[in-house]
């Protein structure tokens, strides 16, 4: 009986953690979409179209490739770490 209660508590705790992580990722996604929209409006370009047509597909599929969105205060930066790309 006690084991079942402990298991239930563990599952509830895990559920709350997963819900929190999902909410954080949703917020991050909204922020990134707003950033892209702001860039598109400011520079008059279609960022998504450029990424879809100009970037080599291997950039996103190569083993060892890592794309990071870095934030510090209100500054945004994108770092691409991939072998063979300078």
How much is the pLDDT for 9? 95
For residues 38 and 67, membership in a common domain is answered with: no
Task: Decide if 65 contacts 82 (C-beta within 8 A).
Answer: yes
| Domain shared by 40 and 7, yes or no | yes
29, pLDDT greater than 70: yes
22-34: average pLDDT: 93
Give, to the nearest 10 degrees, the angle between helix 47-54 and helix 2-43: 100
Residues 8 and 50 in one domain: yes
If asked whether residues 44 and 70 sit together in one domain, one would say no
**What's residue 4's pLDDT?**
92
2 token code pair: 């006690």
Tell me: do 46 and 65 sit in the same domain.
Answer: no
Structural domain for 46, as ranges: 2-54
């Amino acid at each position: 009986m006690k084991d079942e209660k402990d298991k239930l508590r563990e599952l509830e705790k895990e559920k709350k953690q997963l819900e929190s992580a999902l909410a954080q990722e949703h917020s991050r996604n909204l922020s990134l979409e707003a950033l892209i929209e702001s860039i598109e409006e400011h520079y008059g370009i279609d960022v998504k179209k450029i990424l879809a047509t100009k970037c080599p597909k291997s950039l996103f599929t190569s083993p060892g490739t890592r794309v990071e969105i870095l934030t510090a205060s209100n500054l945004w930066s994108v770092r691409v770490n991939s072998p063979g790309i300078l």
